[in-house]
Amino acid sequence: MSAESRTQPGAVAAGAEVDAIVFTGSYHKEENAAHLRSLGVPVPYGENWQRTFADYVIEGSYALYLVAAVLAVLDLRAAHTGPGGWGRLGDVGAGLYALGHALLAVPVIVTFVRGDNPPEVLFSLFTPGLAAWLLGLVLMAIGAFKARRIPRAVAVALPATLPLTLALGDAGVLVEVVTWAVLAAFLLRQVRAAKPAASRAADRQPRAATPGVR
């Protein structure tokens, strides 16, 4: 289990089921890398302890996803407003989902900016962030299931996306990408279907007669 911030949620979740966790991010600490080199142990980050360009790309991409997910769930909430929407339950779920991602984004962004692990105090944000994320998914799934603006099968699958994301590690973000791609596709189809219906309703409205014209 890596000590990098993008894999910390998985470490927190796994910690409830195991007796101990071994972190392999010690190479990011200069003193640890120097000690290992003095023993003749190869350090997997070139000739020094600094992170590679690929590390920054991965960390930055994860930070970008977390911020984008907050904006995406607000759009999903807007699509479920009004009569026949998912109601207050879904709104609360969307808020919790956004809050969870925002909490996780803080240490991830700090890691990206610093080029090193964030201060220990920021690691405490992972547990409430994950809890808000999961509870938000459950409430949104219930609301979306009742509203039927997305297929019920998709709504039921929403809570399973977080455990699957954590189980897949670094590749877990692909689960979220696919989830939002599916949601966006169904919502876009819903918007396109609503436009012809609105046009037909407008055509059925009686038009006022123009004065002086028979």
Q: Considering the chain, what percentage of its residues have pLDDT values greater than 70?
A: 71
Contact predicate 139/92, CB 8 Å: yes
pLDDT attached to residue 48: 42
Long-range contacts, stretch 121-124, CB < 8 angstroms, 24+ apart: 123/8
Inter-CA distances, 39 with 32, 47, 48, Å: 11, 14, 14
The model carries a pTM of 0.67
What is the average per-residue pLDDT within 152-170?
90
Average pLDDT of the chain?
A: 78
What is the average per-residue pLDDT within 94-115?
91
Query: Which of 128 and 174 is assigned the larger pLDDT?
Result: 128
On the 0-12 / 13-18 / 19+ scale of CB atoms within 10 A, 148 is: exposed
How far is 107 from 22, CA to CA, in rounded Å? 20
Residues in the chain: 214
pLDDT beyond 50 at 149: yes
pLDDT beyond 80 at 212: no
What is the average per-residue pLDDT within 200-214?
53
Long-range contacts, stretch 187-194, CB < 8 angstroms, 24+ apart: 187/75, 187/76, 187/79, 187/149, 187/150, 190/79, 190/149
